Structure 1
């Protein structure tokens, strides 16, 4: 009996949920225990390659192997509804793509729950408004993810918000979702810009894989966890440290938006907080907070935000002057 036949017979017995003793197998197949161990490693490799939920376990006390079958329970209706709310609330996908995802979600339910969920689904989808860009996203993000996995450098053909077409050679690092948009986080080759750049997927017209391109240098090693905690806004730029005074009513919003914060002091109605952010994205978010969050320092950045407020005031003043009486 050759190796392939032996492994196949062993695997068939494992599928029957038999305990297989290593010493007994070695005697049965007239081979060594070391050979049986190698056979079991081959079976583990096949299970891993096939992404099987089953796991080949070794019991030291029994000196035996057994195949553990993990039974996946059906998704419950309340869990599916929660996922549905998150998906629809993101408004990050075109209607046809969203419908496809939701139908796949239905397939994970038990037949009884699927009937109930289908009624809820129709009501939820009825009020869905797809993003204004009307671009397909799912295939693009998957293709980019393959480039990230394989450490491929790519040439990105991009259309900015002002419709200006640009081209960049980038090292793709990650694809994330923020504020209703998918973003590619990447390091742009040949630029003095520090830190990663952010590209909206709906504005990527196409990209080409650059074969044989160099990999991202080790000193530029990317940590998505660190980036998410220090760069909650999808804008590039050098991170800067700010001290903020925040009213109690806005503390939760600030802490949720910028998890990597440091509380300097708590007062009766306010809290002093230190954060590290990219300025352009942070200023846009800060405008939504009114007077609930105020920049205390450093002074040059406080003045920069005051100038932003003055430009906004001037824009509204100009409109008032242009209005017909």
Structure 2
């Protein structure tokens, strides 16, 4: 009869293999532990009883395909191999993280992947990891994002040293010190942004700060107040703004004659089609900031801006300047 220490060791070895996504074959496991196949069956039954008693959302089952025992999740509440592949693809495409942060994050994800699927997932992301181009700022951001997120939850002032872009597109050497009331952190087009109000200053809309340009920060013990109704709604804000450019809130109308109206509606989540005829769509959308102009210009002749008149005139003037640039040559 096995002593308690030997039984505990055997149970732990089997459970560890199952957690790693490995297949436990009864005869092989019996030889490895120096026990009978029936004893291995009892160990697996004990593990299943433990999982059931502790209400863990997993159980051990025999797989004919694998010709052995595997650990399965009872509910779709854990990351599986498909989830890990999709998350990894999105992380790689976003190009928002330093290479070290990306490698570390994907490695941790793969540690949750069933052992038998790790090679499969690596096969589909390996080339993208090898050719990953990190953002030019090369800043480590994960700890900063976490710290400031905590400050948002606890409503704490964040003291920052921020570098602005100078006249020639390069960062200024001098930093601007600010006391900020952090509202939200948003990711957009390769960068993480802090949305915050400047302490003791009143503006209609909060300011936007690129997190990588915050060179130093301190979470103050000083707090600020926001009741539930006044809280910043980052989801709504994200649907209104383009390219994280500040500005005013406005309603625009334009005619779209391009190939995919679906792409337009995905880009402007609150946009509505007012009228449609012969491949032309009259679209209305609420937008915030100057970034909408950048997107409208990127659509070329597929879009004609109708309203507001100020934006239409601004578009015409910009197009004239572009034409003059090319006429010079």
TM-score of the two chains, using structure 1 as the length reference:
0.71
Give the alignment partner of residue 81 of structure 2, picking from 77, 81, 86: 77
Answering whether residue 231 of structure 2 is matched by residue 221 of structure 1, we say yes
Aligned to 2:178: 168
Structure 1 gaps of 5+ residues are: 1-65, 321-325
Any idea what the Cα deviations from partners look like across 1:192-245, whole Å, max 9, x if unmatched?
532122211111111222322432467742112221222244122211111111
Please show how residues 139-288 of structure 1 align to structure 2 within 5 Å.
139-162=143-166, 163-164=171-172, 165-216=175-226, 220-288=230-298
CA–CA distance in structure 2, aligned partners of residues 206 and 310 of structure 1 = 42
CA distance 1:312–1:188, shift in 2 (3 Å):
farther
Match of 1:24 in 2: none
Whole-Å separation in 1 of the counterparts to 2:125 and 2:145: 25
Q: Which residue of 2 aligns with 1:306?
A: 316
Equivalent pair of 1:246/1:292 in contact (CA under 8 Å): yes
The offset of 1:168, in angstroms, is 2.5
Alignment of 1:4-23 (within 5 A): none
8 Å Cα contact 1:250-1:292 kept in structure 2 = no
RMSD across aligned C-alpha pairs, in angstroms? Answer: 2.3
CA distance in structure 1 between the partners assigned to 2:199 and 2:274 by the alignment: 38
Counterparts of 2:316 and 2:104, CA distance in 1 = 47
Match of 2:36? none
Residue aligned with 1:287, SS: helix
SS in 2 for 1:296: strand
Tell me the equivalent position of 2:140: 136
Gaps of 5+ in 2: 1-52, 59-71
Could you say what secondary structure the match of 2:83 adopts? helix
Q: Are residues 189 and 312 of structure 1, via their aligned partners in 2, closer, same or farther at CA, if it must alter by over 3 Å?
A: farther
When residues 294 and 189 of structure 1 are mapped into structure 2, their CA distance, relative to the original with a 3 A threshold, is farther
Cα distance, 1:292 vs structure 2:
0.9
Q: Deviations over 1:169-208 (max 9, x none)?
A: 2211111211111111112334453212221111111122
Partners of 1:293 and 1:89 lie apart in 2 by: 27
TM-score, with length taken from structure 2: 0.70
Aligned residues: 254
Alpha-carbon distance change, 119 to 241 in structure 1, aligned in 2, over 3 angstroms: closer
- Once the two structures are overlaid, the 10-residue window that deviates more, 205-214 or 141-150, is 205-214
Note if contact 1:233-1:278 (Cα within 8 Å) is conserved in structure 2: no
Deviation at 1:79, TM superposition (A): 2.9
* 1:76 to partner: Cα distance: 3.6
Change (3 A) 1:168 1:297: same
What's the CA shift string for 1:111-148, capped at 9, x where partnerless?
A: 11123333444333111111111111111111111111
CA distance in 2, matches of 1:219, 1:83: 33
